[in-house]
Structure 1
Amino acid sequence: MSLPYLQFAYPNDDYKTFVQFWRSMYRPNAETLPLYLDNIDKQRFTRKDIGELYRWKNSRPYENNPNKRVSVERIQAELPMINRLKQQFVMRAFEETFAGISPIWQIFLLHIIQPDVYPIFDQHVHRTHLFLVHQRIVALPTYGKTKLDYYHVHYQPYFNEVRRRHKLDRFELDNALWTLGQFLKTRFAAAIVSPVEAGTS
């Protein structure tokens, strides 16, 4: 009799197989997914486009959260700047304009403006990245600047290099990393990997 058990296996660095496996378990919200797919590759945005993209990112109407609603309205108010940056991106102009926005939503706005350069970032893909690097489960730092530094110094170069080297679709790679990150948050993953606090890896 063959009995099943759970373990992490590292047979090779075949990212195409990795993406195929973990993406197969990705379960998008069919209702909100078009808000992302129909807007992200536009060359010029409207206020409505920006609102729909953040609604997808938030997984639910951001209008129900006063702080998030104010943040999106502030971003929408800078629509001319967003469309200028879409045509010619200047990081200094972006930072000066959007410095007051929360780090994760800043990063998502970078993705909106340049989706092929700046990948999506959140707690789940952060968890996956550190797990793949260190085989440990590490929490996302709570301090904003630390999140931004980690993204620009570690995650963005990693994601873009993996995508380039293995010729992967950006959305499919993100789906796979996000899905594994969700699994790593469960008690099943914790049973086979020792979690550590952020900053101790």
Structure 2
Amino acid sequence: MHLSFQIQFQDLPRFLDHWSSKYKYKSDEKYTDNIGSPLTEESLRQLFEWKNGIEKIAGRKLLSIAENYTTSFNDDPVTRYLNHKQSGSAIWNIFYLHCLSPREWPIFDQHVFRAMRYMKTGKIEEIPRTSKRKYETYQQEYIPFFKAFGGMEQRKVDMALFAFGKFLKTAAKYA
């Protein structure tokens, strides 16, 4: 016997209302209190703690943050932070760009990738494994996808995609 399910919403505003209400993440105030304000060493550390999902970042990761991410960056961000040949992980480099310019660089991770792919293809897929593919997917696929939400509140879109993508991870076991 083959059973399947389908997830449908009448429109994007209802999708966003529903899934953003399901969003839950530890220490969200570390994000909301610091994003969009001038970066300091403290605010940058808190933003990375938020992204990492834990209260305090371990020593090696803290050292990586200090080595790779400053409170301001004036060179070409694409050359430095969207390049698989440069240091830092793809997800953290993209998040750093988001910290520098939240409107220009949306957050990207496994959950929003899963949500995007499901919304585009109806299939539950996992984020590419290689940094090179993550950067390509972010630039060529995710940014245009995110821009399709137009004037909708960016944070609400991010929260909805994150929550929906987490749900899909669980749903994949039953699909």
Same fold (TM over 0.5): yes
Cα shift at 1:189: 4.2
Question: CA distance change for structure 1 residues 95 and 190 in 2, over 3 Å: closer, same or farther?
Answer: closer
Contact 2:77 2:97 in 1 (8 A): no
1:48 correspondence with 2:35: no
Please state if 1:158 is matched with 2:145: yes
**TM-score normalised by structure 2 residue count:** 0.87
Q: How many residues align?
A: 171
Q: How much has 1:140 moved relative to structure 2? A: 1.0
Asked if 1:92 corresponds to 2:90, the answer is no
Alignment of structure 1 residues 45-84 onto 2, 5 Å: 45-61=39-55, 63-64=57-58, 66=60, 68-76=61-69, 78-79=70-71, 81-82=72-73, 84=74
| Residue 129 (structure 1) shift | 0.5
Q: How does 1:7-46 map to 2 (within 5 A)?
A: 7-10=5-8, 12=10, 14-29=11-26, 32-42=27-37, 44-46=38-40
Q: Is the 8 A contact 2:111 2:161 kept in 1?
A: yes
- Structure 2 counterpart SS, 1:109: helix
Identity over the aligned pairs, expressed in percent?
Answer: 29
Could you give the per-residue CA deviations for residues 49-81 of structure 1, whole angstroms, max 9, x where no partner exists? Answer: 110100000010453262x222211134x33x4
Over 3 Å counting, the alpha-carbon distance change for 1:46 and 1:38 in structure 2 is same
**Cα deviations by residue, 1:146-187 (Å, 9 ceiling, x for unpaired):** 00000000001110221x1xx31111111111101101111x
Corresponding residue number in structure 2 for 1:113 = 100
Higher helix share goes to which structure?
1
Calculate the aligned-residue CA RMSD, in Å: 2.3
**Partners of 1:28 and 1:175 in 2: CA distance:** 9
Opposite residue 114 of structure 1, the aligned amino acid is: S
Runs of 4+ in 1 over 4 A off after TM superposition: 93-96
